[in-house]
Amino acid sequence: MNNKRKTINATIKSIRIIEMIKSANGTRLPDLVQELGYSKSTVHSHLNTLREQGYVTKEGEIYHLSLKFFHLGQYTRDRDERYRLAKQKTEELAEELNQAVDFDVETNGRIITLFHKADESTEIGFTEGDYFYVHTSATGKAILAEFSERRVLEILDQWGMKRKTEHTITDPDELLEDLERTRERGYSIVDQEWLEGLRAVGAVVNLPNGRPLGALSTGAPTYRLTDETIEDEIGPKLVKAANELTEDVSEILQ
């Protein structure tokens, strides 16, 4: 019996075009053709269809994704009561810590920011919808620490371990050791591994079945997130908030 799922090649091509436009922050037709290896006529037909349906816009020679994706993303996020609770906790924690706070989820081996809360004095330059590699993200590490070693290695094999700074962990064994420390502490730490001068702390939020719903994190310049501050204040408060959110989510799922 063949259990392989049926797929439609035309849909896959459209999705790859969309992802390419997103990753390039807008791109031209020749660049899409060269990068994807499709014929010019094929790419052009897909772009025309996406434009007619309102998913792509064209500014001069540059194709961009339209705001239709924003509205779809908002619907996907806001329809789920679990995420409404996560938004509330993100805002509460940002006020309590007086720090930038995020709630992120893992999707297909990457981390995406669903909620970000900061003011002018605590803003660190991240926005809702940003993607991160799991090995460079505090929320990514917090979530990976809940996975089996096999699953962790699968994700690393899928996306690699890109070096963002000289502090980025790029060795799987070193990351596995770091994840073990995360389990022991109860929270993860990213020390300038995504951005020079920035530290972040993350704590996982679990579903009743033990699988991660997502993770909360707070980030700030290294001079604000010292080892002492993390150990005595930030870490415990972050874990407490994550545990409270885990309980809140469990209640609505019962």
pLDDT at 2: 47
Q: What is the mean pLDDT of each run of 10 residues along the chain (254 residues)?
A: 65 89 87 92 92 86 80 66 90 94 90 87 75 94 96 94 95 97 97 94 94 95 94 96 94 76
**Distance, CA of 225 to CA of 233 (rounded, Å):** 10
pTM: 0.73
Which residue pairs from 18-23 have beta carbons closer than 8 angstroms and sit at least 24 positions apart in sequence?
A: 18/50, 18/55, 18/56, 18/65, 21/56, 21/63, 21/64, 21/65, 22/65
Q: Are residues 60 and 163 in the same domain?
A: no
pLDDT at 117: 92
The domain in which residue 40 lies consists of 9-66
Q: Are residues 80 and 145 in the same domain?
A: yes
Q: Are residues 51 and 89 in the same domain?
A: no
pLDDT at 1: 41
Residue that finishes a domain, picked among 66, 89, 107:
66
pLDDT at 152: 96
Amino acid identity of residue 169, one-letter, is: I
Size (the chain), residues: 254
**Distance, CA of 201 to CA of 222 (rounded, Å):** 11
Q: Are residues 45 and 137 in the same domain?
A: no
Residue 4 lies in a domain: no
When divided into structural domains, the chain yields a total of: 2
**Distance, CA of 234 to CA of 49 (rounded, Å):** 49
**Distance, CA of 239 to CA of 160 (rounded, Å):** 29
